[in-house]
Amino acid sequence: MIGSLLYLTASRPDIVFSVCMCARFQSSPKESHLTAVKRIFRYLVGTHSLGLWYPKESTSNLIGYSDANFAGCKVDRKSTSGTCQFFGNALASWSSRKQNSIALSTAEAEYVAAGSCCAQLLWLKHQLLDYGIDLSHIPIKCDNTSSICLTKNPIQHSRTKHIEI
């Protein structure tokens, strides 16, 4: 069942997180994991007619949003980064994944999330250059003032030199 759901995530990105969470316990599943898989199938049946609408008349600006939860995973205390990028009014890409390293503060978790958002925006910018769309200013929106201050001051201090992006 997990293999079929993983195949389906290519066209249904809304179930990626739930399916990957269930896939982590595939070697030794419990009854709760089977219940979660059944819930995913019920969700798919109930939402088969929903989709995203991309209007034809939208502006050609690129903007990124990033957020993170600090030590959200109770198993290994790693944070989760969430990013989304909009081209005009349409969602171009998004991601939600567990961070590779354990963050020591909320600012660090948010800073790592902003870094992954920046990487995705740079990739999108280069893709848009192939279509003749040149964007010079691409804002990234973040809700943590400490991580915003870190990005404005590029000097590494003793408390920030350990951050891995």
d(CA 165, CA 160): 11
Tell me the average pLDDT across 63-87: 86
Q: What are the distances in angstroms from CA 3 to CA 7, 23, 40, 66?
A: 6, 9, 13, 30
Closest CA to 81 of 114, 51, 105: 114
84-133: per-residue pLDDT in tens?
999 888 888 888 888 877 877 888 888 888 889 999 999 999 988 888 88
Mean pLDDT of 8-37: 89
Per the confidence metrics, is the pTM higher than 0.75? no
C-alpha closest to that of 93 among 152, 4, 16, 6: 16
**77 pLDDT band (50/70/90 cuts)?**
confident
CA–CA separation, 81 and 117 (whole Å): 9
- Pull the structure tokens for residue 38: 């059944």
| Amino acid identity, position 49 | S
More confident residue, 35 or 76: 35
- Each residue's pLDDT tens digit, 28-69: 989 999 999 999 999 999 998 877 666 667 677 899 999 888
Secondary structure of residue 29 in the 3-state scheme: coil
Place of tokens 């903007």: 63
Query: What pLDDT, on a 0 to 100 scale, did the predictor assign at position 156?
Result: 65
pLDDT of 13 higher than 90:
no
Residue ranges in 56-144 assigned as alpha helix (H): 106-130
pLDDT tops 80 at residue 72: no
pLDDT one-digit tens code per residue, 146-163: 778 777 776 766 556 556
Closest alpha carbon to 66 in 100, 94, 99, 92: 94
Tell me which of 30 and 10 has the higher pLDDT.
30
Ordered strands of the 90-98 beta sheet: 90-98, 80-87, 62-69, 140-142
